[in-house]
Structure 1
Amino acid sequence: MDTTTKTPKACIGDMFPSVFPGMPMFAYVPNPYDCGRPAKVYPGDNTYYCVKGAPLCAVDAEDAALLAIRRTVCRTMNQCYGTATPAQAAAVEAGIKYGWSDRRANPALYDADGAFCG
């Protein structure tokens, strides 16, 4: 058996070296591939994990009002479960969209409301 191809697989919640300091263990963000339903995202991982029991809205994903509601649901989930601040959640969302080494994935560059400042 060839053992050279056996590499340790990353576990959910592992912190990867390319992740900026100050990242949470995970955050809830809108999943663009599932009608914007809240998804759990782990820093350094490029997968949106479905959340059971999250509200499903079968409406066009381009609806601005619905997107605002989805973001509010994700922000409330982050606050209720104490998983991530708005700045950390915004950095996690940017990291999964643009890559974890992109400067937008740095939570230090966001204000307290999660707006990019830098």
Structure 2
Amino acid sequence: MSRPSTAPILRPAGPAPFADRNRPAARCRGDHVVHSCTSAGILLRIALRGEIDHYSVAPVRALLVSAAATGARLLILDTARVTFADSALLKALALWRRDGRRLRLTGTSRAVAHLLATARLRGGCPAPGP
């Protein structure tokens, strides 16, 4: 039986190794959008940053799939540092909510609040209100 840990499960975020040094780091595809991630029992805490789209959401999806497979049931997602988000984030959150897993948003950025409001208007929002 393993002990719960609150140690980060990812190394600190930084520019992707293949990032173009002549472009601003936040604009390069493949940059890490996971600012921090910790796990304790059934609880998973993730803080996101930067721009989340089809290209950059992969690490988030991978974390959610891995955490679900190891028994995590509650995700606390901090999006205060997110400057842009599109339907790719909504799709990742919808996958998390399957099988009764719960989601709580904290520090909702303006970009994420706008995305969620738009999704609610269209009837396809997988996340609770900000």
Q: TM-score when scaled to structure 2?
A: 0.28
Which of the pair has more CA radius of gyration? 1
More contact order relative to length (CA 8 Å, sep ≥ 6): 1
**So what's the TM-score if we normalise by structure 1?**
0.30
Q: Higher strand share goes to which structure?
A: 2
